[in-house]
Structure 1
């Protein structure tokens, strides 16, 4: 009886635990993105040799769970079912099958949580589609249980250690497929996969599926496997994944209760007899509910459930999902990286390579599914309480970069860390980077740059130069034989080198360009989407639009910033990774972001305008971002020739916005992303264009490299780009011409090389070949282009007759000139027309043009001191100019101007930088004096104009801080008690301050910090990271007032606490009645009554000399506040709320106490206190009264004419009121009224935006 009871309790516990996965919203169904990825996976069908009388015979019963490759049943952790089934079971089985290893050994088991933790946002109730994590294994591998440290027991851990990652790189998935199992043919395909891997292998494989498990029953008495557990009907959702291991054709269940078991009776009475009517036969599957579930972790499911619709008890999409793995893969190149950061979801790590070792930016980029803004707001290793967990060492398999290099030649390898941290809350360093070359043993190329600070909201790039010697894959086919229009054409491609087998693919590329142009005035008709958030509208267009070889006459415009060609609904789901739906759905994406909404009150909406010549779609929308909301205006224009144009208007905010801009065929292979996606400074190029290449709509290449084409036009020269990828993911691609008679080749001479630079006049030499069997007479070559940056100077060449098989060479045949303003890395598409006596052939080709890209670097101060402007100081200001382009800049000059009266330019404001090579920076210096009376914290504005020959002009600007800002209030108290009172006290003293709710990324721009943590029952507990940041601030000479009721005694002590020289003395609870100053200190003569939120204390502060008490309970001489002068910094630590002090007769006022603390901190009373400069009327943004019970006046000061936007947000970041939307105001002081009467009590944020700045102010409504 006890044993049965224990078994019942365990089953009940498991059931409760796992029902938690099935029924919360995030796990009830696959998200839209997951669905797209899985629907668009390539489908595996039954090969011809598995059909007919010669097909292998299948047994009536097959069970792969009896093989040693399947690990024992286990209990999944939380919502990781997708990974438990696909990695814990399927991948583990498959990799052991090909290696013939037993899964009972830990070394041959693979933890689901290694990959799940990269995608779950560090939340244990977030399910992740197994496709994402399969892609991660495909890209960078999977460690085993020993390397990872078990199967995983939390949602936070990221593994550290290069060798562990390297060993995991050996365990790889090569391909992922689906099998449709909704009919008997699909079931047969699945059985053969389970039986012999569909290739005659000794052992078969497994398959995963998604559905909703909610119960099972038992096979009837007197039938095969009687009493065993069976699922006869699945639940209505799709949020749980399981693994199929075998089948049994004899199990049965009486669905219609007629006492019979049949497969040939229409039991559902739909007039059709199919698998939906089957009562005999089923699959065996394993669940991740532990060995206590069902039959020792296994269960049957009836074949009928495969065919049923989802809501009628079927599986998702009537499909299962399978994987191929690599038996003996090992990386050729890898990166070893040691990285430190305090918030891992703020960074993305990429790899890159350039054949030009002078490049400062990578020419080819390799992104990864992991280390990609993931893992939630946590330290790199996931556990935040340990400082060492900020640092992680990992490896990345960068072998695919070999695809882009010339073996045996020096190339430059890049690592790039992109940070997206709009508030500058967090920071980090790229500690170490090495290239690991395994092509001939192991050679480690160590980057000499170490401990490099990660650039805030920018790209941090390190590089090494190395020569890789490897026999890489090469497409050997030189030329395609001629074709005949209208007849199917086949040709076997050949390749050599690398490691077989090769995978062949067709690449359908568009030419992308970016430049500036006028924004089109699209009006047209306003569309009505079916939702203002993630809704869509359907619009017919007046011409067939060609896109990746297909023709469309209907477009679906989505609120979330993209166009599609079907009506698949796009809701707001849990978003794992935008890139997956982009790659796996055919779409045009000007600005793909799920946080776009239509705010009708702000004039938002969708518009269409078009005719037979174009179709234009315009979005005017609001982007809801964590650091504010943005009004965006962008347009996509489609043309009948397949050209695409994206226009962007009014993208002038200084923040970084997330989006994907590009085009996608939806096959996971052919997609293009604009160079500034997916994080970019919002001031972007106005126009992005995509031009299709001259390829055939009907073409295919199989896995063996057999090219099949159906040419549909006579006298057309098609471009066909083919890619061959070897076993190690190293590829080669080549573009061929296919024609029924004429092909051509060309070379470029431009300047002194073969690349086109701005302002040059390139010359093209051609070779024209007759691939037909008849002479071609009176041949004339014409080259044309319609591009505003190109002028043809010689576009025609007379050739004469070309005989069959003959090639005519035309040196210096065609020439053109490039404008000096041509953008860098600009694609040029030329049309080629070859006229003959009997007709003409048309083709095209692409080349790139290059230009310098000049930008202002970060100016810095050379003062032989602290590296900042200080009042009364004369310094050298060093200004760098960078050339990030691909061409040299000639005759670069600069002009510095400022209208700041505190600044004097002592030397010429003209800068001479000379010639700046591509990828280089040049510096020049100016001597500057800062006035003695410059207020601390003053910001001086400078304009800087960059010019270069022949006609480059770039306008830049920057600001320089003078000294330090006097005061920063950091209000981390959840109850917001003392912070607002300290703020109002400083306002009454006319002292300049800033007010934040967090410790900023660069606190050392302030001289004094007042940090409020709260008393108890909800106080903020300083983290180790925050404490270290405050300690670092003190060590730079800053001063801190820190107030907290529990931080000195109950809370964990951090690096900053001992720097206050305070001990604590515990005692029983006492009342805080009076608070008195101390004789012979700066608080002598002060006395307050106290009425704080928590008027009790259970310990007091005892100073460690030379610190001393400044406030105490007079009757007991219990210290409440202690001051300490270190010589380098000063501190005041307090256990009482400043807000709890009650003013009495002077000098016992909070204003006077604050004044004395400021004087103790050494605040310059002549410049910071009672100076008009700090008068509240001169602040950029000020709200008064604040706190308010009704209305507040919002005042702002402008130094020049500006367009002003003012919005009010609630504490959750939701906009609740708009006061100004771009209204122009002249320089001076202005104000508007916010009527807060209709709003509930709470905290609101007033946000003022100008062209270049954003200011915020907290408003407390009570």
Structure 2
């Protein structure tokens, strides 16, 4: 029967966590044991807003009906995600939140149908022969894809154009049945089998091969980096006549292979005979062989009559690959708070993992302090041999100087070297003393990412957690994100009490929430902000400006956040209006300070503030940090510098590679660093001197999970920072 595909604008019908959701139930529905539900659905895990998803769905409909000749997408996820991208362009962060929580159920690569599928008319040869390298077909469906496969491997593909197509492939060397399929949009697939038959005369084919790496390697029978390998080869005659005086030559086009012994004699082979030559060939494998690369080889066989048979094959290459997976601090000999403090000596444990498929030998690891306040007391340590998939952890003793500033970000480099030129360089940082900022993202909102980007630009250390720690003593300030209805978190009494204790001990708290001041139940924390919620507002949050009597005077933002219906607030005596909505006029942020603590309470979401000329989120964050007494470094030149240098990161979001384009006015030293949201350096280009004019840097991503990252480009005295998103 026919099954529907669905693009749904609705609330929580795709919330698959902890229970079977509506989308899953529909996909799994059966009638008498046969599928009766949907073949694919796009449904949301949260309560959706109105305009953004409706706009996204409109775009999906336009793509589905092929309204754009330059944007043809026919897979379910291709249509869905392209619709989401249009929504993101039109609605900014509101669209992003919908994209983040709209989920594809079913096969994302499914090619959907928009009309009753027709039969294709296809003609082709009914058999193929050993040694052939192409196949021609005719078909009445232009644009259809034709594929020839054998034993589950694709031999070749082609696209039908002008009623015909030719599939090319390596010379056929095995007898059997090949599968032939032609598929087209809104056509029924054409599926058949084609027999591969022998030609006249003998035909030599590879029957098997065995790696011998006992004398020149580790003896595990696989092709590892830095090995000298002997290759045993078996040849069989699958032709219809005997072959005489067979000689075979081994070659490879791979830059990682050096053939040392390339020739072997197999003698005479009758029809159906197989001859094995032990250790027939010899070759060396380079030290820098990429892990799990498929290395091409060619075996060319000839007989005394001048017949020639060419067999191509691949062998997987195996190498070690070292990555730095993390660090921990043991300060049991100090104050035992799990951090490095000024004047303290502690042990930093570094974990190095071999993510390759071959062993890493005699790994030596060194910790280098890239700052003037921390001394590494330990010499480089011998991590020994690290087997594939295993992690080795060892500790380095370090001392922080007594005059290290509180909140100082101490950078470190981790260097590991192994036998056969194996190497790894990575980095991390830790904060000496109190961590300046903790962001508690209780509502899973985009403000956390936006704030972390600002902190990176301001060179301020920070952490993000989704729950409130029971103790906050290691933090200078806490930023609490409660979100807006319907995706808000209601602060509990226990959470409020933790923050009360923090403030009573001299803490600083920023708290934003669209409903926490009026609509939600108040806790013991709320009165400490000196904020009174007066009413639950309407959908009218627009232009937000800083109050002329407070530290955000002169700042002005257009609000483009998730929900513009927020609580209205006024200050109790002692509180000061910090920001207000212009029309209708009502307060949106209030600050308070006394001799012990300081607070900022807001009704908007930080990420919804759209940068204007002279008013940026990083500037706003800098002012809040200044009010809280948190040190930062800020030149206020990032946006103009990025514009002047033409800095662009593309594609963004990206998958396995991202390119950074920039234009230099003069010869400059350039460094690219990429950080995750914990502040760990996941990539560094090292310093490169670049000439004036257009330049580019490329990050080829490996072993870095999908997520949000911050890149920082330093060109001369200019520092540029922005966000990157890696997707699967």
What does residue 97 of structure 2 align with?
377
CA contact (8 A) 2:244 2:267 kept: yes
* CA pair 749-962 structure 1, distance change in 2 beyond 3 A: same
Determine helix, strand or coil for the equivalent of 2:429: strand
2:245 aligned residue: 778
Give the match for residue 211 of structure 2. Answer: 748
Quote the residue 2:476 is aligned against.
1007
How far apart are 1:827 and its partner, in Å?
1.3
Q: 2:311 aligns with which of 819, 824, 843?
A: 843
1:1221 paired residue number: 664
- The alpha carbon displacement at 1:843 in A equals 0.9
Unmatched segments (≥5 aa) in structure 2: 12-21, 77-83, 86-94, 108-126, 136-146, 182-189, 441-457, 536-548, 557-566, 578-589, 605-623, 654-660, 671-710, 724-728
- 1:188-207 to structure 2, matched below 5 A, reads none
SS of the equivalent of 1:859 reads: strand
Alignment partner, residue 80 of structure 2: none
Aligned residue for 1:1181, secondary structure, equals: coil
Query: Hey, what does 2:374 align to over in structure 1?
Result: 903
Q: Deviations over 1:1147-1167 (max 9, x none)?
A: xxxxxxxxxx99997x6xxxx
Deviation per residue, 1:1103-1147 (Å, 9 max, x gap) = xxxxxx74599xxxxxx876699xxx956366999xxxxxxxxxx
What SS does the aligned partner of 2:636 have?
Answer: strand
Tell me which structure has the larger Cα radius of gyration.
1
Cα distance change on mapping 1:1008 and 1:841 into 2, 3 Å: same
Residue 123 in 1 paired to residue 53 in 2?
Answer: yes
User: Which residue of 952, 965, 970 maps to 2:422?
Assistant: 952
SS at match of 2:356: coil
**Residue 788 of structure 1: which of 255, 275, 278 is its match?**
255
Structure 1 stretch displaced more, 1029-1038 or 823-832 = 1029-1038
SS of equivalent residue, structure 1 residue 957: strand
Aligned length: 513
Q: Write the deviation string for residues 218-243 of structure 1: whole angstroms up to 9, x where unpaired.
A: xxxxxxxxxxxxxxxxxxx88579xx
CA deviations on 1:610-635 (whole Å, 9 max, x unpaired) are: xxxxxxxxxxxxxxxxxxxxxxxxxx
Tell me the equivalent position of 1:937.
Answer: 407
Q: Does structure 1 residue 875 correspond to structure 2 residue 346?
A: yes
Q: Is the counterpart of residue 1182 in structure 1 residue 636 in structure 2? A: yes
TM superposition shift of 1:883: 0.5
**TM-fit CA distance, 1:1206:** 6.5
d(CA) in 2 for partners of 1:1093, 1:793: 72
Q: 2:7–2:41: 8 Å Cα contact kept in structure 1?
A: no
**Residues 1048 and 1057 in structure 1, CA contact (< 8 A), matched pair in contact too:** no
TM superposition shift of 1:1182: 3.1
Q: Give, in whole Å, the separation in 1 of the partners of 2:252 and 2:133.
A: 31
Following the alignment from structure 1 to structure 2, what is the Cα–Cα distance between the partners of residues 484 and 1136? Answer: 74
1:1205/1:1057 CA distance change after superposition, 3 Å: farther
Could you tell me which residue of structure 2 aligns to residue 61 of structure 1?
Answer: none
Distance change >3 Å, CA 911–CA 831, structure 1 → 2: same
Cα distance change, pair 714–1002 in 1 and its aligned pair in 2 (3 A):
farther
State the shift of 1:1208 in Å: 10
Alpha-carbon offset, residue 117 of structure 1? 4.8
Offset, 1:906: 2.5
Within-5 A mapping of 1:72-221: 96=31, 99=34, 110=37, 114-117=41-44, 123-127=53-57
**TM-score, L = length of structure 2:** 0.53
Establish whether residue 548 from structure 1 lines up as the match of residue 156 from structure 2: yes
Deviation, structure 1 residue 907: 3.0
Pick aligned residue for 1:854 from 292, 309, 322: 322
Structure 1, unpaired ranges of 5+: 1-68, 81-86, 100-107, 131-211, 213-236, 242-309, 322-344, 347-374, 383-391, 398-480, 490-502, 511-546, 551-563, 568-585, 587-641, 643-664, 666-690, 716-738, 971-991, 1014-1018, 1068-1086, 1103-1108, 1114-1119, 1138-1156, 1185-1191, 1196-1203, 1228-1246
Post-superposition shift, 1:941? 2.0
1:759 aligns with 2:686: no
TM-score (norm 1): 0.33
Residue 886 of structure 1 deviates from its aligned partner by 0.4
User: What is the CA–CA distance in structure 2 between the aligned matches of 1:887 and 1:856, rounded to whole Å?
Assistant: 17
Partner-residue secondary structure (3-state), 1:124: helix
Query: Over residues 280-324 of structure 1, what are the superposed CA-to-partner deviations in whole Å (9 max), with x where a residue is unaligned?
Result: xxxxxxxxxxxxxxxxxxxxxxxxxxxxxx99xxxx99x9x9xxx
Q: CA deviation at 1:920?
A: 0.8
* Cα distance in 2 between the residues matched to 1:565 and 1:1032: 69
Deviation at 1:876, TM superposition (A): 0.8
2:179 alignment partner in structure 1: 701
Question: 2:361 aligns to what?
Answer: 890
Alpha carbon RMSD of aligned pairs, Å? Answer: 6.8
Does the aligned pair in 2 maintain the 1:903–1:929 contact within 8 Å? Answer: yes
Are 1:880 and 1:923, in contact at CA under 8 Å, matched by a contact in 2? yes
CA deviation after TM superposition for structure 1 residue 825, in Å: 0.9
Whole-angstrom distance in 1 between the partners of 2:133 and 2:646 = 65
Report the alpha carbon displacement of residue 916 of structure 1 after superposing the two structures with TM: 0.7
Contact 1:1030/1:1056, CA 8 A, preserved across alignment: no
Distance 2:97 2:721 in 1: 23
* Aligned counterpart, 2:700: none
Instruction: Measure how far apart 1:872 and its partner are.
Output: 2.3
